[in-house]
Chain A
Amino acid sequence: MNNHLRTLRADRGWSQADLAAALGVSRQTVNALETGRYDPSLPLAFKIARVFEQPIEAIFSDTGA
């Protein structure tokens, strides 16, 4: 699964630690999410969407689709 987390974060001038604090996860988790090597759970995906004020589909895309 691909995502635009890094771009969205950079557009807002947030560090990974800032995003991690907003999401209630560790910075390592944010890094794993951004590299696309860890897919979030549904509740975390919804939280990410709320933080960035974007629909989930605008942030995550399914590579198998």
Chain B
Amino acid sequence: MAREARVSEQPLRRYGAVMGVCVLAGMAAGAVAGVVSATSDEASLGGAALIAAAVALAMAAALWACFRWWKGLDEAAQEAHKWAWWWGSTVGLCFAGVILMTLLYGAGDLGEAPIKSILMLGTAIVTGCQMVGYSVAWAAWWFRRR
């Protein structure tokens, strides 16, 4: 029989701790990227490897925190997140697709923007729409079961 996880009695505090770990890990990785960018005039393989390693470590820390948080959720809370992850993110992705296609082909000449800016804008649109969709879906799941 699988070992039962202990459901957290302070879910908000636990969630805040996970967010805290993610923020700190992201800041640490960002600091490494900032130092690498500031100390070298040209992109180098070593600098890229250092940034990749820092971001990978940050992701691993965030995943570890998420894993600990997930184990403290009861089955209904896990179900809510799974449902919200699928439907909320999928619908959000649809919205992001509309926005991206509109910007690409319907917004006229957007000028010459740096590749990095374009990449970050696309990433922000997709992740932003997915996060909004996820949040709405999660709230709707619980609202329908109150």
Contact = CB atoms under 8 A, between A and B. Distances in A.
A35 B7 contact: no
Contacts, number: 38
B76 A26 contact: yes
A24 B6 CA distance: 7
A55 to B, nearest CB: 20
Nearest to A35: B145
A38 interface: yes
Given A32-B145, A37-B145, A38-B145, A26 B75 contact: no
Interface string B1-12: 000101100010
Interface string A36-47: 011011001000
Contacts of B7: 24-26
Nearest to B11: A26
Given A25-B7, A29-B74, A33-B76, 5 more contacts: A26-B74, A26-B77, A35-B145, A37-B145, A38-B79
